[in-house]
Amino acid sequence: MEPTDCVMSHARSLGGGSVTVDVQRFIWDHCISKAIGKCHALYLKISLKKLILEIESNRDDVLDELYELYSEFMISLKAENAVKGNVRALKYISFVFPDDASCEDAMVKKLVVPLHCSLNMLEGDTGCLIWPSSRFLSEFILSFPDMFSSKTCFEVGLVGICLSPVKASKSVLQKLKPDIILGADVIYNPLCLPHLVRVLSILLDKTKSSSQLPRVGCDGAIGSSHDCSDGCGARDAVAACDSAGNASPAEHPTAYISSVIRNANTFDHFLALVDEANLAITDLTGTLQPASLLPYMQSYNRSSIRLFELSSK
């Protein structure tokens, strides 16, 4: 269930510039026919329509099977708008490990993550997709499992799911004494940055309670009516990992944040708040590169993603 434009681009590249009959047959045998009844019908209909238009625009022959299935969808999905509503599509993400992967857990090597997604994702709407930084941080966790093994971790979404196969235990973050904090694309909204840095300060400094913590450029306390309310979700996007049960916490809690720098001024503002909060930040982009575990995702561009490590000075 990649974005349909990416699917078409991949199909063209396989056919040397056009979607040849051989490529169509491959798509039918290995993708579409196997997805019927498993993949959401509306996604298949959208993909078939674009595939047929792509083939016809090059004046190539279209497989009869593609026409027939598209006709069936046209009849069965007449009330297309009625099926949207709150209906969710099930998208599968397969992490493909290289043959020489050092991971010892066979289950991790075959990791397939099912995600319930908004149907708007089928059309590629902003906010209805898995952001590249989340994919990158998931690859990071799975590439360095020893960093997370036996840690008590909390995160909502794909990143949190990928903490499970590396044997990280989960909590609801009651003691505010983390070993590791994880965040994916949480520094893009300047209105939310003071809240984000304040949360990082709480979690990275074990000697301070929330009542002792400075405001870090924000008048409203976390959880108050002055919190950021424009949907940025900074607090929810940060994954906190504290020690589990009998395990003793790490001496120096660390945060790992992956992000695309979309606006230089916003990022400079984040750096200023980090410095004000007496936190140290290091760019690890060139030194801790995760393995490429999502090579089939044409829509996933890792080149613009940066990885940062934060800790208390």
DSSP codes, the chain? ---HHHHHHHHHHHTTSS--HHHHHHHIIIIIHHHTTTS-HHHHHHHHHHHHHHHHHTTPPPPHHHHHHHHHHHHHTTTHHHHHTT-EEEEEEE----TT-----HHHHT-EEEEEEEGGGGGT-TTSS--HHHHHHHHHHHH-GGGTTT-EEE--SHHHHHHTTTT-EE----S--EEEEEEES-SS-TTTHHHHHHHHHHHH-TT--GGG---SS-SSPTTSTTS--SS--HHHHEEEEE--TTPPPPSS-EEEEEEE---HHHHHHHHHHHHHTTEEEEE-TTTSPPP---TT-TT---TTEEEEEEEE-
Q: Give the model's pLDDT for residue 78.
A: 56
The pLDDT value given to residue 264 = 92
Contact between residue 168 and residue 179 where contact means Cβ atoms under 8 Å apart: no
Structure tokens at 282: 């290091």
CA dist 152 and 169 (Å) reads 4
Q: Are residues 76 and 145 in the same domain?
A: no
Let me know whether 307 and 162 are in one domain: yes
Looking at the fold, whether 54 and 142 belong to one and the same domain comes out as: no
Contact 166, 111 (CB under 8 A): no
CA angle 295, 300, 301 (to 5 degrees): 105
Residue 282 domain flag: yes
* Domain termination site, one of 46, 63, 84: 84
With respect to residue 276, please indicate whether it lies within any of the assigned structural domains: yes
Given this model, what pLDDT does residue 306 score? 94
- Domain CATH number, residue 255: 3.40.50
Domain stop point among 50, 84, 118: 84
Do residues 193 and 278 share a domain? yes
Residues 142 and 270 in one domain: yes
C-beta of residue 30 within 8 angstroms of C-beta of residue 22: no
pLDDT averaged per 10 residues, the chain (length 313)? 76 85 88 77 82 87 88 70 58 80 57 74 55 88 86 59 60 62 86 84 65 44 37 41 42 86 92 95 91 82 91 89
| Cβ(148)–Cβ(166) below 8 Å | yes
Which residue range(s) make up the domain with 9? 4-84
Domain end point (choices 14, 49, 84): 84
In sequence order, the β-bridge partners of residue 311 are 280
Domain count, the chain: 2
Asked if 70 and 179 sit in the same domain, the reply is no
CB atoms within 10 A of CB 283: 10
Does 67 share its domain with 190?
Answer: no
pTM to 2 decimal places: 0.67
